[in-house]
Structure 1
Amino acid sequence: MAKRPLILVTNDDGITAPGLRTLISVMNQLGEVVVVAPDSPQSAMGHAITINSTLYIEEMTIDDGPQKEYACSGTPADCVKIAVNEILDRRPDICVSGINHGSNSSINVIYSGTMSAALEAGIESIPAIGFSLLDYSWGANFEHCTTFVKTIAENVLENGLNDGVVLNVNIPNKTASDIKGIKVCRQARANWKEKFDKRQNPMGRDYYWLTGEFINMDQGEDTDEWALEQDYVSIVPVQFDLTAHHAIKTLNTWDFNA
């Protein structure tokens, strides 16, 4: 009898996050689930890893299984590394990260702990998906996400992914009946116009809160931002190879011997 797929589940909002609990419940329908997630929120950690301090893992039970669960003291990328090297007895067939509380579309993918966990799996040649819901609240309703999460994960399990490619999936904060479907997209060209809110603590020391406005400079109708605005689930294939291949030819015309 063939083994059920081994599914590694992680996130960046922490092991108790409602989005993660929803993702676990869906993955339990598809295979054997092992959860390795941060023991506290690690949002916007990007691809940070722990090298100057120790890491701890603790097996625990939050919801009834059948999944096995481990809380890790490190970052989302740490969770994947320690799962693959220390916890799992075989390579996972897929790694899913999320469901994130908030958007990871467009430029947000750069800062995302959710997507960095998925990309870490991709580096290990494990098919991986990062899921995010466009609702930042802890009490977000993830019920309408489950059908899309299951469908996309089933497709990856059946078809695989190109080596080095990871899927960045964002889900509108709409009811299931209002979501029109799924669009495969490119990442929109956008950024944050940032500023710091400067304040002073009771001891007279200045401190700062980072704030900003999201600016979408891309008018294309093939982007993740467009799809989400039109009430579609967006899928963007991303990669960890950051080489700007189109620039190599130009750079080779420069005189570096001057």
Structure 2
Amino acid sequence: MKKPLILVTNDDGITAPGLRALIRYMKEIGKVVVVAPDSPQSGKGHAITIDNTLFSANITVDKEHGASEEYSCSGTPADCVKLALQELLNRKPDICVSGINHGSNSSINVIYSGTMSAAIEAGIEGIPAIGFSLCDYAWEADFKPSEEIIKKIVRKSLDQGIPKGVVLNVNIPKVEGKKIKGIKVCRQARANWKEKFDKRTSPAGKDYYWLTGEFELLDSGEDTDEWALANGYVSVVPTQFDLTAHHTIQQLNGWGL
């Protein structure tokens, strides 16, 4: 049988250790083509480039362990997927995997995540897609404990198929030498960021601002991604890109608009 074509992307940049690990894992499953940002794009959400030019280059980051084809892109993670599908790939990929992100994309973080937005962009185009994140922001994070679970989820997704209109948001706990307990399919926890701006003054006398904040978990449910991660499990949240609040349509129709 023909090997599946796997599009790999991320938001931390094409040289990020998380991406390099994901490439190695995916090479055991199929033919890998990488299209990833040429510089870090964390927190860009689903931004696309419409007021500037996009550049792409066919590059080699790691001759021994790299993909068969790798392209850097000057744009956002969503741009990377668009460019891959429209210009760089010679056929539609069988799956798109994004990550492995350095840091969590659980709960409300999915809104801001470039990692997940790349996967969602693929999902919009009808391609099965998964975003992978490790709850460790360190550049030297240990991705090895997540290897077998990532390969299992990708293989299952290729074999069983991801439901139409759904993208998987997979977060992996930082286990620090302990074994991951297992995988839990969860809902997104209710949470937000309590944010503030740290106002500072530059040497030139100009005011500038640095965004800071604390994560607030507002959900005590044991069926959430945050609970799973806190208890040593990988969380898998089926995420939809149809943002319609279907359950409120009847109520709004009652307004007599």
Is the TM-score greater than 0.5?
Answer: yes
Q: Is the 8 A contact 1:28 1:67 kept in 2?
A: no
Deviations 1:35-78 (A, max 9, x none): 00000000000000011111111000111245210000000000
Q: How far apart, CA to CA, are the structure 1 residues paired with 2:161 and 2:55? A: 32
For 2:210, give the aligned amino acid: W
- 2:57 maps to a residue whose letter is E
Distance 1:216 1:179 in 2: 22
Moved >2 Å (runs of 4+): 64-67, 175-178
Deviation of the 1:139 alpha carbon:
1.2
CA contact (8 A) 2:33 2:67 kept: no
Counterpart of 2:127 in structure 1 is 126
Distance 1:66 1:252, change over 3 A: closer
Give the alignment's TM-score, normalised by structure 2: 0.98
What is the rounded CA distance, in whole Å, between the counterparts of 1:140 and 1:177 in structure 2?
A: 14
Report how many residues are paired: 255
**Greater CA deviation, 137-146 or 32-41?**
137-146
Structure 2 residues not aligned, in runs of 5+: none
The match for 2:19 is 20
Q: Which runs of 5+ in 1 are unaligned?
A: none
Cα contact 2:37–2:80 (8 A) shared by 1: yes
**1:76-133 superposed Cα distances (whole Å, 9 cap, x missing partner):** 0000000001011110000000000000000000000000000000000100000000
Indicate the residue corresponding to 1:59 in structure 2.
58
Q: What pairs with 1:53-202 in structure 2 (closer than 5 Å)? A: 53-64=52-63, 65-175=66-176, 177-202=178-203
Is the Cα contact below 8 Å between 2:103 and 2:133 reproduced in 1?
A: yes
Correspondence for 2:2:
3
Counterparts of 1:61 and 1:236, CA distance in 2: 33
Q: 1:80 is matched by which residue type in structure 2?
A: V
